[in-house]
Amino acid sequence: MDSAQITTYLPLHPLEFRILLALAGGPNYGARIVRHVEEHELHGGKLYPANLFRRIRDLLERELLEECEGPEDADARRTYLRMTHLGEEVALAEAARLEALLGDARDLDLVRGR
């Protein structure tokens, strides 16, 4: 997929980007994604889970995520998820976009503690 097509997915909603980050380490399931986002991104703050699962559903529909097999001892009720190749590219593009944005902010002395 060329970069012009990928930019049609940008910007990502912050929560969608956080979900992709939570899956960067490999496949995982819903409740663990919630915990990961709360621990790493919200520093112990609390998400509204239904809202997060709606975002996951949207990401699945846009084929940035896909369902996959869980580990052998996985609970059958769980849906395991992983990033698709497209998802990885979009995540990379979103990270680059944010970095560029941050660079602009730095140039304008809007970032403290450089």
Binding site for other proteins (CB under 8 A): 29-31, 34-35, 46, 48-51, 53-54, 56-57, 75, 77-79
Give me the least distance between CB of 23 and other proteins, in Å please: 14
Give me the least distance between CB of 92 and other proteins, in Å please: 25
Number of other CB atoms surrounding residue 9 within 10 Å? 20
Q: Measured from the CB atom, is 69 or 109 closer to other proteins?
A: 69
Give me the least distance between CB of 99 and other proteins, in Å please: 28
Copy the structure tokens of residue 31: 């409740």
Q: Which residues contact 65 (CB under 8 A, 6 or more apart)?
A: 19, 20, 23, 56, 59, 81, 82, 83, 84, 87
Q: Measured from the CB atom, is 54 or 85 closer to other proteins?
A: 54
Give me the least distance between CB of 104 and other proteins, in Å please: 30
Q: Measured from the CB atom, is 39 or 104 closer to other proteins?
A: 39
Q: Measured from the CB atom, is 50 or 110 closer to other proteins?
A: 50
Q: Where are the alpha helices (DSSP H) in 28-84?
A: 30-36, 49-61
d(CA 19, CA 22): 5
Q: Which residues contact 13 (CB under 8 A, 6 or more apart)?
A: 55
